[in-house]
Amino acid sequence: MRAAVPGRVAAAGLALLAWCVAVSAQGVAAPPPPVTPDAAKAASILEAATSALGGPKYLAVKSQVSTGVFTSFVQGQRGAPVEFVDTFVFPDRNRTSFGRKKSLVVQANTGESGWKFDAQREVLAAQTAEEVAHYQRYIRSNLDNVLRGLWRLPDARLEYLGKSEHAPRQWSEGVALTYGDGLRVEMYFDTATHLPTLSRYFEGAESGAAGSAIETRYHVYLDYGGVLAPRTVDLYRDRMQTARVVYESVSFNVPVDDRVFVKPATAKDLK
């Protein structure tokens, strides 16, 4: 889930995404983890997290449909809560709807394309190149995509970050994944449960610029038929909270009609 307009609920070009799909479809074994001591330690943490989240059942997830409440924060001030429906077909098809009827806002992406709808302004349009680039960076930094295989890509470099106390008496071990183009994703996992506690990436890292730190914090995991997922997710930009997501339902491997990701012919088709 993303945070963008109005804060996408919590972005890898087409070749990378096609590679992921091809590996899954053909059953080709991914390259083995790096063998340096530092990378091996990091790989063991990612494998433990995958096991804690559900092991084979978690790895077998192909789609996820979630509902809940999204609350934005502006300069520390809480906004009005908005209902959302988030539909994700991994690795790169996503549609998020906020609100209903006259307040409906929709954002949908497939690979290198995307569209958006705003009922209040009656605007249905293609996403800008910048919005699509942000989405593609999100896809590459998405924790589920990373744990389900992106960390094994040939150009991916793993690094062990050590232990940190992110909350009182909550210790996490960190792992950094750096892609060949410079995009870096940092992930932390509870030392006791091995479940994810935090992930972050930096906008614009591929160009060499530090950019803003986009951070996601995960709280209270629930079991959905053998696959664990957080009940609450907090989103931050440069350590300032931008949103809170509270999930009311999460369903895995449900059938998803491909047409939900296709841009409608007119705005009336979405009302």
Query: What is the pTM for the complete model shown?
Result: 0.84
User: Is residue 73 one of the residues assigned to a domain?
Assistant: yes
Which tokens hold the place of 85?
């429906």
Domain count, the chain: 1
User: Is residue 27 one of the residues assigned to a domain?
Assistant: no
User: Is residue 116 one of the residues assigned to a domain?
Assistant: yes
Which tokens hold the place of 47?
């494998």
Give the least confident one: 100-104, 156-160, 232-236, 251-255.
100-104
Query: 27-58 pLDDT, tens per residue?
Result: 444 554 445 789 999 999 999 999 999 999 99
User: Is residue 261 one of the residues assigned to a domain?
Assistant: no
Q: Which residues contact 217 (CB under 8 A, 6 or more apart)?
A: 166, 197, 198, 233, 234, 235, 236
How far apart are alpha carbons 249 and 254 in whole angstroms?
13
User: Is residue 22 one of the residues assigned to a domain?
Assistant: no
Mean per-residue pLDDT for 186-215? Answer: 87
- pLDDT at position 25: 38
How far apart are alpha carbons 184 and 82 in whole angstroms?
31
CATH number, domain with residue 108: 2.50.20.10
Which tokens hold the place of 132?
């699509």
User: Is residue 19 one of the residues assigned to a domain?
Assistant: no
Quote the percentage of the chain above a pLDDT of 70: 84
Question: Does position 22 have pLDDT exceeding 90, yes or no?
Answer: no
Task: Look over the chain and give the mean of its residue pLDDT values, rounded to a whole number.
Answer: 87
In terms of residue numbers, what domain contains 41?
33-256
